[in-house]
Amino acid sequence: MLKNYLKIAFKVFLRRKFFTFISLFGIALTLIVLVVAVALWDHVFGPQAPEAHADRLLTIYFVHAKGPRGNTNGPAGYAFHDRYVRTLKEPKTVTVHSIFLPVISYRHGTEIKSWVKNVDGEFWQVFRFNFLEGGPFTSDDEKNGNRVAVINQTTRQRFFPGESPIGKAIELEGRPFQVVGVVSDVPMLRFTSFADAWVPISTRKSPMYKTEFENGMFFSTILAKSPADLAKIQEEFKGMLTRIEYPDPKSINHLTGRPETLLDTISQELCNGYLTTAALIAMILFMCLPTINLININVSRIRERSSEIGVRKAFGASSLTLVGQFVIENVVLTLIGGILAFVGSQLVLRTINHSGWIPYAQLTLNPRIFLYGLAIAVFFGLFSGVYPAWKMSRLHPVEALRGRES
Amino acid sequence: MIKHLLKLVWNRKRGNILITLEIFVCFLVLFATVVMVGYYANNYRQPLGYEYQNVWIVGTSLSTLADLEREQKDVMKKWTAAFYEALRNMPEIEAVSTIGQAPYTYSWHSAGFEYRGKHIDTTVNEGSDDLPKVLNLQVVQGRWFDKRDDGLAWDPVVINQKLARELFGDEDPIGKDISNKGATGTGGSADLAPASQERQKRVIGVIADYRKDGEFSAPETYVFTRTVPGIDRGWDFLIKIRPGLGAAFEETLVRRLHAVNPDWAFEIDALTQLRETRLGWQIAPMAAAAIVVSFLIVMVALGLVGVVWQNVSQRTREIGLRRACGAPAGSIHFQVLGELLVISSVGLGLGALLVVQIPLLDLFGFLTTQVYMYSLLASLAAVYALTLLCGLYPSRLATRVQPVEALRWE
């Protein structure tokens, strides 16, 4: 029976090519936009190297400090992370790392801008980078202030075209750093781990960072022993906040913050924690217009098929059967549109990757996104097929056979 | 005639309601896009208030160290003064100033000011005496800071025209005292606001409107306070270089500053570059939205053509009958397009009714009436044009119906 439905469906699609084209155009366009949006979302928030084990990671991004002199929001200082986060009992490992900062180097008179991140030795245990050459630096390097650096693929290409950089010196801010490792590029939108070059915190020019407390430029990321431990860690962190001894209580005497995922943080900063809900609402609103359009076209199409419906009804097909048939036809159409959309979004994503609009973007259609896309397509097909099918099934057989509309 | 059209549409209301809905949603989507583009385009037309060409920011690394302010203030001041002198003595540099938050950067300070019970929250920034030379600021009334402001018992401030209008109305703002009241705020990587809030502020000059956040930002109220390099804080320098100097000079500049003190780090950014990045990030989502919306509109148009076409071919008999009774092609055109116009008017009417609530309820305060009205008219006109365009081909088909064929049908 399904085979029959499919056969009829294809015959109908081919009969009115203009309508089929409009439907497919609408479906493919809608799905391309949705798939690209989902791919971007996944690119920023999804579990990807070097954060493939994201379900065990929590980061303290922003803290909110208050006191008699006003308030300040932003990354906390090194002293806070060192004294209060590193000493937490529950986490497996804690790493303290700075935000990425631009650094200018000059090579043969041309300017090279690199993003540099100051990290400790534990950074390389918490995040799992893909090392192409060499390896990470250690906690001892950090302790001794050794000028060593791990660089990414692109930086290797910029500074050492065609040669291995291991053991060689790279000049950052007028000082040489010995390259110990090369990792694959991390996209800039992987906000937590991204950099062009990673160097020990202790190599900073000024040691002042050690005294920064509530207002600085450091994050700390916690690796939990298991995903189940995350709640315990958040609990311990909350308890710790109440026991802080503030270095200058006349300025700042209250601190709030939470170890969380990037999604939680951004959601909190942008729309009070409802980012996912807002995104879903935006998606549904966006789908509104294409859906109405598709329903309209479908309603028009069935009018044209009224004689076919009349015959089937006259021979005893129930309304339910006809609804089923029409919905299946529509889902088939959306799936074809879905295939077109995947080809289309592949092209769009490749264009974004090559445009350099997002540095080091590697937007890809991984199986996860493919599944999301498929789910969206089927939902779309069902949603836009049900109303016309219901309308169709209400045609009176005699009227339908005579070619009148309902 | 029109009554008859309305009746025709009403008789087929079941079939028409979906088209009405589609036009309604299409109008809303288009209006939202046009308003967004109109808002930014309108901002872009406003004067910026400064010139960014050949201006560089020279940032010093200590600008992120809040604690140093307390502990080693004197050391900081000494070096700020030394760098300032070094920059001033370079022949390639035309003017040097310190600045709190440079144009196109992402940090800001805000503070509340009061004059005769009127309270306004405004953006505050700091600049030194030569800032007008670096940014080519237009002083429209009074004067900018200079040596005469040394050692005063009150703080001189320069405000922009927008603030002068809003705070003083028709009064002459020069020489008026304003008080610092209410919450201060900080954004981006800016430090806590300077602690001199207690002192009386007196307006000594008015500059043309100033929009630190660049071409696409809305006009804002603005207050400048004075800094003196080496006496007050101010660790970012803004320099105007001679035209035609590129990256090569940047390297020289850093080397010369390192010669003054090798322990500091310097970061140099050209305003043109910051501007490009900032505008790029603002344009990209707009461009993406505009592309998506234009495809949506094409989709809607194609859909409408299909639906109207189908409608017309369903009504072959009706049209054939009219033709047989002597209706000319023009009146068939009129009927098809007229019905479409009625349907879209209903959809657009509903849409306009909804959209009119925005200024009535003052939902989006940042929209000016002008932008709003233009967007509304443009979207209405565009959707009408679109529906008519979609009706043209099907209505041509309808006029080609042969009366004999049509009557014989069934």
How far A11 CA sits from the closest chain B CA (Å)?
A: 18
Q: Is the pLDDT of residue B19 over 80?
A: yes
Q: Which helix (H) or strand (E) holds A141?
A: helix A139-144
Contact check, Cβ <8 Å, B192/A70:
yes
Q: Would an 8 Å CB–CB cutoff place A245 in contact with chain B?
A: no
Residue in B40, B213, B60, B239 with CA at minimum distance from that of residue B125: B213
Portion 11-40 of A in contact with B at CB < 8 A: 18-19, 21-22, 25-26, 29, 33
**What residues of B are in contact with residue A352 (Cβ under 8 Å)?**
none
- If pLDDT is split at 50, 70 and 90, which confidence band does B192 have? very low
Contact check, Cβ <8 Å, B191/A215:
yes
How far apart are the C-alpha atoms of B237 and B100, rounded to whole Å? 9
Q: Same domain, yes or no, for B37 and B66?
A: no
* Mean pLDDT of all residues in B306-310: 84
How many other C-beta atoms can be found within 10 angstroms of the C-beta atom of residue A170? 24
Whose tokens are 């207050």? That residue is B223
How far B284 CA sits from the closest chain A CA (Å)?
A: 8
Nearest CA in chain B to A173: B265
Nearest CA in chain B to A28: B299
Contact check, Cβ <8 Å, A110/B247:
yes
- If pLDDT is split at 50, 70 and 90, which confidence band does A308 have? confident
> How many CB pairs below 8 A link A and B?
123
Q: Same domain, yes or no, for B293 and B255?
A: no
- If pLDDT is split at 50, 70 and 90, which confidence band does B65 have? very low
* Nearest Cβ partner for A293 among B15, B66, B300: B300
Residue in A57, A73, A86 with CA at minimum distance from that of residue A259: A57
How far apart are the C-alpha atoms of A97 and A75, rounded to whole Å? 11
**What residues of A are in contact with residue B22 (Cβ under 8 Å)?**
289, 292-293, 296
Q: Are strands B236-241 and B177-180 parallel, antiparallel or unpaired?
A: unpaired
Residue B269 lies in a domain: no
From A216-220, A389-393, B34-38, B301-305, the region with the lowest mean pLDDT: A389-393
Q: Would an 8 Å CB–CB cutoff place A295 in contact with chain B?
A: yes
Contact check, Cβ <8 Å, B18/A215:
no
* Nearest Cβ partner for B193 among A70, A74, A357: A70
Portion 36-65 of A in contact with B at CB < 8 A: none
Q: Would an 8 Å CB–CB cutoff place A307 in contact with chain B?
A: no
Q: Which amino acid is at B117?
A: G
Residue in A122, A144, A136 with CA at minimum distance from that of residue A180: A136
Residue B233 lies in a domain: yes
H helices, E strands: number in chain A: 13, 13
Q: Same domain, yes or no, for B223 and B83?
A: yes
How many other C-beta atoms can be found within 10 angstroms of the C-beta atom of residue B362? 9
Q: Considering chain B, what is the average pLDDT of its residues? A: 82
What pLDDT, on the 0 to 100 scale, is given for residue B409?
56
Residue B150 lies in a domain: yes
How far apart are the C-alpha atoms of A174 and B90, rounded to whole Å? 21
Q: Same domain, yes or no, for B211 and B85?
A: yes
Enumerate the β-bridge partners of residue A171. A176
Q: Same domain, yes or no, for B6 and B76?
A: no
Q: Are strands B108-115 and B185-187 parallel, antiparallel or unpaired?
A: antiparallel
Residue B163 lies in a domain: yes
Portion 128-157 of A in contact with B at CB < 8 A: none
Split into its structural domains, chain B has a count of: 2
From A48-57, A99-108, A363-372, B139-148, the region with the lowest mean pLDDT: A363-372
* Mean pLDDT of all residues in A127-155: 92
Portion 308-347 of A in contact with B at CB < 8 A: none
How many other C-beta atoms can be found within 10 angstroms of the C-beta atom of residue B215? 17
* Nearest Cβ partner for A33 among B67, B292, B298: B292
* Nearest Cβ partner for A299 among B18, B25, B296: B18
How far B117 CA sits from the closest chain A CA (Å)?
A: 23
Nearest CA in chain A to B266: A173
For residue A16, give both structure tokens.
Answer: 């009115």
**What residues of A are in contact with residue B25 (Cβ under 8 Å)?**
288-289, 292
DSSP letters along A212-254, please? --SSSSEEEEEE-SSGGGHHHHHHHHHHHHTT---S-TTT--E
The larger pLDDT score, comparing residue B106 to residue B330, is at: B330
| Cα separations in angstroms, A156 against A163, A178, B260 | 8, 13, 32
* Nearest Cβ partner for B314 among A29, A173, A405: A405
Q: Would an 8 Å CB–CB cutoff place A239 in contact with chain B?
A: no
Contact check, Cβ <8 Å, A304/B67:
no
Q: Same domain, yes or no, for B152 and B288?
A: no
Q: Same domain, yes or no, for B220 and B75?
A: yes
Contact check, Cβ <8 Å, A72/B192:
yes
Provide the greatest CA pair distance for chain A.
92
How many residues in chain A? 406
Residue in A76, A77, A94 with CA at minimum distance from that of residue A85: A94
A121-126: which pairs have CB atoms within 8 A and are 24 or more residues apart? A121/A200, A122/A93, A122/A94, A122/A95, A122/A96, A123/A95, A123/A97, A123/A198, A123/A221, A124/A150, A125/A93, A125/A95, A125/A223, A126/A57, A126/A93, A126/A94, A126/A95, A126/A221, A126/A222, A126/A223
- If pLDDT is split at 50, 70 and 90, which confidence band does A117 have? very high
How far A130 CA sits from the closest chain B CA (Å)?
A: 30
**CA-based radius of gyration for chain B:** 31
Please state the domain extents for chain A. Answer: 2-48+275-402, 62-259
* Mean pLDDT of all residues in A315-342: 86
pLDDT digits (tens, 9 = 90+) for B358-388: 777 766 667 788 888 889 999 999 999 999 8
**What residues of B are in contact with residue A288 (Cβ under 8 Å)?**
25
Helix spans in B315-402 (H): 316-324, 329-361, 369-399
**What residues of A are in contact with residue B314 (Cβ under 8 Å)?**
303, 405
Whose tokens are 């322990």? That residue is B263
Q: Same domain, yes or no, for B245 and B188?
A: yes
What pLDDT, on the 0 to 100 scale, is given for residue A69?
57
How many residues in chain B? 410
- If pLDDT is split at 50, 70 and 90, which confidence band does B66 have? very low
How far apart are the C-alpha atoms of A159 and A108, rounded to whole Å? 10
H helices, E strands: number in chain B: 12, 12
What pLDDT, on the 0 to 100 scale, is given for residue B27?
92
Provide the greatest CA pair distance for chain B.
102
**What residues of A are in contact with residue B249 (Cβ under 8 Å)?**
none
| Cα separations in angstroms, A89 against A81, A224, A246, B6, B326 | 14, 11, 21, 76, 93
Range of the domain at B41: 2-45+282-409
How far apart are the C-alpha atoms of B103 and B214, rounded to whole Å? 7
Residue B116 lies in a domain: yes
Domain endpoint, select from B204, B235, B264: B264
Q: Would an 8 Å CB–CB cutoff place A360 in contact with chain B?
A: no
Q: Which amino acid is at B246?
A: G
* Mean pLDDT of all residues in A181-187: 91
Highest mean pLDDT among A117-121, A280-284, A388-392, B316-320: A117-121
What pLDDT, on the 0 to 100 scale, is given for residue A136?
94
Four-point Cα dihedral B258, B264, B270, B273, nearest 10? 130
Q: Same domain, yes or no, for B81 and B182?
A: yes
Q: Considering chain A, what is the average pLDDT of its residues? A: 84
Q: Would an 8 Å CB–CB cutoff place A405 in contact with chain B?
A: yes
Residue B50 lies in a domain: no
* Nearest Cβ partner for A18 among B68, B306, B314: B306
Contact check, Cβ <8 Å, B66/A212:
yes
**What residues of A are in contact with residue B301 (Cβ under 8 Å)?**
none
DSSP letters along B83-105, please? HHHHHHT-TTEEEEEEESS-TT-
How far apart are the C-alpha atoms of B382 and B379, rounded to whole Å? 5
Cβ contacts of A62 within 8 Å, gap of 6 or more: A73, A74, A75, A257, A265, A269
**What residues of B are in contact with residue A173 (Cβ under 8 Å)?**
265
**What residues of A are in contact with residue B297 (Cβ under 8 Å)?**
none
Could you tell me what percent of chain B has a pLDDT over 90? 21
What pLDDT, on the 0 to 100 scale, is given for residue A264?
84
| Cα separations in angstroms, A348 against A48, A162, B369 | 21, 31, 37
What pLDDT, on the 0 to 100 scale, is given for residue A199?
94
3-state secondary structure of A172: strand
What pLDDT, on the 0 to 100 scale, is given for residue B15?
72
What pLDDT, on the 0 to 100 scale, is given for residue B63?
38
For residue B191, give both structure tokens.
Answer: 């430090």
pLDDT digits (tens, 9 = 90+) for A4-44: 888 888 888 888 788 888 888 888 888 888 888 888 888 88
Q: Would an 8 Å CB–CB cutoff place A290 in contact with chain B?
A: yes
Q: Same domain, yes or no, for B73 and B198?
A: yes
Residue B392 lies in a domain: yes
Residue B277 lies in a domain: no
Contact check, Cβ <8 Å, B300/A72:
no
